[in-house]
Amino acid sequence: MRTTKKTDNKSLAIKLSLRGEFLRKYHPGMFSVLDCCEGGRQLWKRLMAGRDVEYVGLNAKRERGRLAIDSARFLANSDDG
């Protein structure tokens, strides 16, 4: 089995900038987030500051305040219709 270095937050500043600009332009008011790869909630913890947000985080790893579920499995079984 091959192991790789985690790089999820390698370009955190760029990810924050892109998402922040999108939110300012398209969602200036209240909005909802389904974060399917929550991890340590590094991005949304910062992006939600001072905003009216309904947030649900999914992650396979159990932790208080999140749904412990495999995101790919959740999305594959979600009703799109």
Is the CB of residue 51 less than 8 Å from the CB of residue 23?
yes
Domain ranges for the chain: 29-77
Contacts with 39 (C-beta within 8 Å, 6 or more apart), sequence order: 8, 9, 59
Q: What is residue 4's predicted lDDT score, i.e. its pLDDT?
A: 59
Q: Which residues pair with 67 in a beta bridge?
A: 58
Listed ranges 9-13, 62-66, 72-76; the one with the highest mean pLDDT: 72-76
Q: What is residue 72's predicted lDDT score, i.e. its pLDDT?
A: 86
pTM above 0.75, yes or no: no
Return phi, psi of residue 57, to 5°.
-110, 135
pLDDT tens-digit readout, 19-54: 899 999 998 889 998 888 787 788 888 998 888 999
